[in-house]
Amino acid sequence: MSLSAEDHDYFLALQTRTGWGKTLVRFLEWCLPDRPVRVLDVGAGPALASALAAQRGHWVVGVDRDPLMLAQSLHPTVALADAGALPFGAGAFDLTLASNLLYLLPDPLPALREMARVTAPGGYVAVLNPSERMSVAAARALADARGLTGLARETLLNLAARAEACYRWSPADLGALFARVGLRLVRTRTAMRPGLLRWALAEAVSSGRV
C-alpha cells in the first residue's frame, strides 16, 4: 500500500516528535543550505533525514547497506549500497550527510573517503556522531534527568555503549580525520545536553588545499 502525500507528511510529522526526530531536525537546520542542493544521506536507516531534507526542497538520495531498512524507507529515492563503495560519480552531490553512522564502522576512513569523493569541490560533508563526552554513565544520567523510560531510554544507553566500544570524537579528532580525505573542518558543535553528540561540517577542497 502506498501512502498519499498527506499521509506521508503526517507520518513524517509524527517521527519528528520523537527525541531522535527532534535531534535530526535540528542537525539538518544546522547543516542544510537555504538554497536547494543535491544531498546524499549515507547510512540512511529508515531515511528520516532524507525525507526531512526533501521536504525542505532539496534533491535527496539515501543509501543503506541493510535491505530491511530500505524496505521501511520514509523517502522514495533510496539505494542499497555500502558506505565504503558509493555507487555515484565524483562530485555528484553538494552535501553528503552521515548521521549516527561513521562512529560505528571499524574503520571510518574508507566511508569518509567515499563521502569526500562524491562531494563536489566547494560542497560539504556533515556528520553526527557521539562526542568525546559520551559514555554509558553520562547517558544514564541524562536518561534519569529527562525521565526517559522504555525504548527511548534503551536507545540512548545502547548508543552510549556502542560509542564506548567504537569511537567518540572531539573537534581535534574530527579535524585530523577530515584532513586525511581532503576535507577541511569548517564548524562543529555539541548537541544533546550536556553535549553527548557532536555535529561537524567540513568543506570538500581540492587536494593540496587542506
Chain residues in the site for ligand SAM (CB under 6 A): 43-45, 48-49, 64-66, 69, 82-84, 99-101, 104-105
Residue nearer to ligand SAM on the CB measure, 96 or 100: 100
- In order of 17, 19, 164, 204, the CA distances from 134 in angstroms are 23, 17, 8, 28
Q: Whole-number minimum distance, CB 14 to ligand SAM, in Å?
A: 15
Euclidean distance between CA atoms 190 and 1, whole angstroms: 40
Decide if 118 contacts 86 (C-beta within 8 A).
yes
Decide if 110 contacts 97 (C-beta within 8 A).
no
For residue 113, give the C-alpha cell: 573517503
Q: Whole-number minimum distance, CB 206 to ligand SAM, in Å?
A: 26
Q: Whole-number minimum distance, CB 171 to ligand SAM, in Å?
A: 21
Residues 6+ apart with CB under 8 A from 67: 80
Q: Whole-number minimum distance, CB 66 to ligand SAM, in Å?
A: 4
Rounded to 5 degrees, what are φ and ψ at 17? Answer: -85, -10
Residue nearer to ligand SAM on the CB measure, 85 or 172: 85
Nearest residue to ligand SAM by CB is 45
Residue nearer to ligand SAM on the CB measure, 165 or 172: 165
Residue nearer to ligand SAM on the CB measure, 84 or 91: 84
Q: Whole-number minimum distance, CB 64 to ligand SAM, in Å?
A: 5
With vertex at residue 109, the alpha carbon angle to CA 79 and CA 74, rounded to the nearest 5 degrees, is 25
Euclidean distance between CA atoms 33 and 55, whole angstroms: 13
Residue nearer to ligand SAM on the CB measure, 96 or 99: 99
Euclidean distance between CA atoms 34 and 64, whole angstroms: 26
Residue nearer to ligand SAM on the CB measure, 66 or 144: 66
Residues 6+ apart with CB under 8 A from 72: 46
Q: Whole-number minimum distance, CB 104 to ligand SAM, in Å?
A: 6
